[in-house]
A and B are shown apart, each in its own frame.
Chain A
């Protein structure tokens, strides 16, 4: 009667200690993982702050202006270069032929200013140029003469 109990108890003690050991080691493992993950998060956070600061530093308007003046042939926009989409001449029939007119017109930034709806939308990137039919001239813009 006494021996079986002792054995059972001993087995239990063994099982429990084993379990405890496993738990302990697993917790340690997880804690290491957590610590390294937290460190990584902190590191990334720090790096992203540095990058944000660097981005802002590199995109200083004065720096961009100097670079643009040195490397680009761009100038400040003149009043004559500003137009409205609505003032562009419409292409006869071309817009209604374009099969993706509706989809593209939604994405175009000036769509609202145009106000004429998708069908009459002016050419935007992504549109294929319409081939001129015989005897027909495509007028892209007629405001070039006024300077």
Chain B
């Protein structure tokens, strides 16, 4: 009884109990024999099934090892780039020049317990990293701690040198580091990140999430800047800032037909690789965050709205004989002609009186409607967190209307004004300024803010300002510059400060079909001997604009045109519509 019982549980007893033995066991009862037979059949079946499975497995094994080519890798996807969680996408300019990147740098640390001879090791480490102090390194190496930093963010050659020393106990740890190869050149556009790679200013902040999502291997963010233009702009602005001892400067170059910003500079600036080293003032973006009363450059807008609304015609004019006295204010001209001035003359001689009267003709509501349409009463849209909100008059009465006509009592940011100016000359279409490169063929949707006819008249007017008016020094031969000066007194305690000026110049070129807008601004420039002590825009910002345009126009591929050529002359023709008396003298109206 016991033996057959155990035989049900294993193969071995079955193998040692052959058929004949059971057959011979005649004293066994028939039912028992039956049971053993059934069990045997079942075991054989199971064994067969196992055998088949083993053969299949063996076959597969042979196929994998012997028959299969080793080149056919099963783990084909294993070589895909390792997705680093910490890291940001690169930033490139419109031509693909690298502006910001993430580098993996090695940082040197030591396991001080396994450094055999601290004094000797310290000497050798300082030998290849001379910026470290010998005493400090020696102290750290003999500290008996398992982890001491020796130096963060080594260059590859420094790393190789340390490796070459072969000192046991020195190790490297990889760290991500944001690098801006051009230093301060694009600082105000790019912004910067903190040590953990969080964008905390500029585009780094605005596109923070986007850049993390893309990761360091992802597609780079392509901005609209052109590094060459940016450099020319910064170079000229900083030279002018030094020369005129200005406290600050801002400038931008805008594509008049797409709204792309090709250059944006705010001085003083900072090195985004070491942002904390710069004073807070240097991190202030004057071009987008700062709002200023911009002065006479606003007369362009006043003339535009007067012509567009039909309040006056290009042949019309205003009496600018006497200063306007309203309440306790006096509006006077700095280049006073003391006579009747036509609309072109008002712009050319930058007459405050004329502009103020013109604005009154447009009316308070008309002026507000137009300024709002030009995007000057709200916060402009731009891909930067540092965007300033304009300051508008608290009570918009007739006085505000008159002062806003020549750019006082209303403070806007330079980028906002440049966009509005682009609309004045590009055929009347206001395009939002952007710092992202537009794709080729991308259609830019703008708003028609003034008629094409008015825009055409303004081009001639602005060209005349540079040819014969206050902007004569902004000439850039061959590039048909047109523009307007703006000198504003900065508001101080108890009124405006006569000596603290914002001198700016807004220009577009070539004036026959404007492609680019340049707006440059100097904060509190001081006149020098060459400018006869004047710090006004005509003496400071205007020549600066001429130089900038001469430098950037060839880069931007603008073809020089002959000023005297007949088609150019025809396109820019503009009578002054001065009134003359019978003896040919320009007359004053009393």
Cβ of B175 to closest chain A Cβ, rounded Å = 12
A79 partner residues in chain B, CB cutoff 8 A: 477-479, 550, 560
**Residues of B contacting A50 in the complex (Cβ-Cβ under 8 angstroms):** 103, 156
Within 8 A of B (CB), among A22-38: 22-23, 26, 30, 34, 37-38
- Mask for A1-43, Cβ within 8 A of B = 1, else 0? 0100000000010011001101100100010001001100110
Contacts of B61 in A (CB 8 A): 16, 19-20, 23
Report if B99 contacts A (CB, 8 A).
yes
The reply on A92 being an interface residue by CB < 8 A is no
Q: Which residue of A lies closest to B547 (CB)?
A: A76
Q: Is the CB of B101 within 8 A of A53?
A: yes
Tell me the bound Cα distance from A21 to B216 in angstroms.
Answer: 41
User: Given A34, A55, A62, A82, which contacts B235 in the complex, CB threshold below 8 Å?
Assistant: A62
1/0 per position for B78-95, CB-CB distance to A under 8 A?
110110000000000000
Of the candidate stretches B140-148, B181-189, B435-443, the one touching chain A is B181-189
Contact, CB under 8 Å: A23 / B78: no
B66 A53 Cβ-Cβ under 8 A: no
Q: Which of B57, B78, B101, B560 contacts A16 (CB 8 A)?
A: B57
**Looking at the complex, which one of A26, A30, A54, A61 makes contact with B227 (CB distance below 8 Å)?**
A61
Min distance, Cβ B562 to any Cβ of chain A, angstroms:
10
**Is A77 on the interface with B (CB-CB < 8 A)?**
yes
Q: Is B559 an interface residue (CB 8 A)?
A: yes
Interface residues of B in 404-460 (CB under 8 A from A): none
A26 and B65 in contact (CB under 8 A), knowing A19-B58, A46-B104, A61-B231?
yes
Docked complex: A73-105 residues within 8 A CB-CB of B: 76-77, 79, 82, 84
A19 & B66 in contact (Cβ 8 Å cutoff): yes
Closest residue of A by beta carbon distance from B66: A19
A65 proximal to B (CB < 8 A): yes
Q: Compute how far the CA of A20 lies from the CA of B78 in the bound complex, rounded to whole angstroms.
A: 23
| Chain A residues whose C-beta falls within 8 Å of the C-beta of B57 in the assembled complex | 16
Partner of A34, one of B79, B81, B183, B479: B79
Pick the residue among B58, B70, B98 that contacts A52 (CB under 8 A). B98
Interface size class of B (residues with CB under 8 A): 35 or more
Of all chain B residues, the one with the shortest Cβ separation from A37 is B79
With a cutoff of 8 Å between Cβ atoms, the chain B residues found around residue A84 in the complex are: 559
Considering the complex, give the chain A residue whose CB is closest to the CB of B57: A16
Residues of chain A within 8 A of B103, CB atoms compared:
49-50, 53
Given A16-B57, A30-B73, A42-B82, check contact A60 B479 (CB 8 Å).
Answer: no
Q: How far is the CB of A68 from chain B (nearest CB, A)?
A: 12
Interface size on A, residues (CB 8 A): 36
Interface residue? A59 (CB, 8 A): yes
Asked if A23 and B64 sit within 8 Å, CB to CB, the answer is: yes
Q: Tell me the chain B residues, 24-65 only, with Cβ under 8 Å from chain A.
A: 54, 57-58, 61-62, 64-65
Which residues of the partner chain B approach A22 to less than 8 Å between Cβ atoms? 65-66
Bound Cα distance A42, B82 (Å): 8
* B228 close to A61 (CB less than 8 A): yes
Secondary structure of the A contact surface, majority rule: helix
| Chain A residue at minimum C-beta to C-beta distance from B70 | A26
* Minimum C-beta distance from B228 to chain A (A): 6
Minimum C-beta distance from B222 to chain A (A): 14
Q: How far, in angstroms, from A42 to B80 measured CA to CA in the complex?
A: 10
Q: Is B566 an interface residue (CB 8 A)?
A: no
A56 at the B interface (CB under 8 A): yes
Interface centre among A19, A26, A41 (most CB of B within 10 A): A19
In the complex the two chains form, is B97's CB within 8 Å of A59's CB? yes
* A23 to B70 alpha-carbon distance, docked (Å): 10
Q: Is B75 an interface residue (CB 8 A)?
A: yes
CB distance from A40 to the nearest CB of B (A): 10
The verdict on B15 contacting chain A, using a C-beta distance below 8 Å, is yes
A53–B70 touching, CB < 8 Å:
no
**Given the complex of chains A and B, what is the CA–CA distance between A56 and B217 in angstroms?**
18
Beyond A19-B58, A19-B62, whether A82 also contacts B559 by CB under 8 A is: yes
Contact B182 A60 (CB under 8 A): yes
In the complex formed, the residue of B with least CB distance to A60 is B182
Q: Return the chain B residue nearest A25 by Cβ.
A: B65
In the complex, chain B residues whose CB is within 8 Å of the CB of A46: 104
Which residues does chain A contribute within 8 Å of B217, judged by CB atoms?
A: 45
In the bound complex, how far is the Cα of B231 from the Cα of A12, in angstroms?
Answer: 77
Q: Once bound together, how far apart are the Cα atoms of A62 and B236, in whole Å? A: 12
Q: Assess the A12–B181 pair: CB atoms within 8 A.
A: no
Q: B4 contacts which chain A residues (CB < 8 A)?
A: none
Separation in Å of the B162 CB from the closest CB of chain A? 17
Chain A residue nearest to B54 in the complex (CB): A12
Give the chain B neighbours of A61 by CB distance below 8 A.
182, 185, 227-228, 230-232
Q: List 23 A-B contacts (CB under 8 A).
A: A2-B15, A15-B58, A15-B62, A16-B54, A16-B57, A19-B61, A19-B64, A22-B65, A26-B65, A34-B75, A47-B156, A49-B101, A53-B103, A53-B181, A55-B98, A57-B182, A59-B97, A61-B231, A76-B554, A77-B554, A79-B477, A79-B560, A82-B478
Q: Which residues of B come within 8 Å of A, CB atoms?
A: 15, 54, 57-58, 61-62, 64-66, 70, 73, 75, 78-79, 81-82, 97-99, 101-104, 156, 179, 181-183, 185, 216-217, 227-228, 230-232, 235, 477-479, 550-551, 554, 559-560
Footprint of B on A, CB under 8 Å? 2, 12, 15-16, 19-20, 22-23, 26, 30, 34, 37-38, 41-42, 45-47, 49-50, 52-57, 59-62, 65, 76-77, 79, 82, 84
> Can you add 6 more A-B contacts, CB < 8 Å, to A34-B73, A60-B231?
A12-B58, A53-B103, A54-B181, A57-B182, A61-B182, A62-B235
Pairs of residues from A and B, 10 with the lowest C-beta to C-beta distance, nearest first: A61-B231, A79-B478, A56-B181, A56-B98, A57-B181, A19-B61, A79-B560, A22-B65, A23-B65, A77-B554
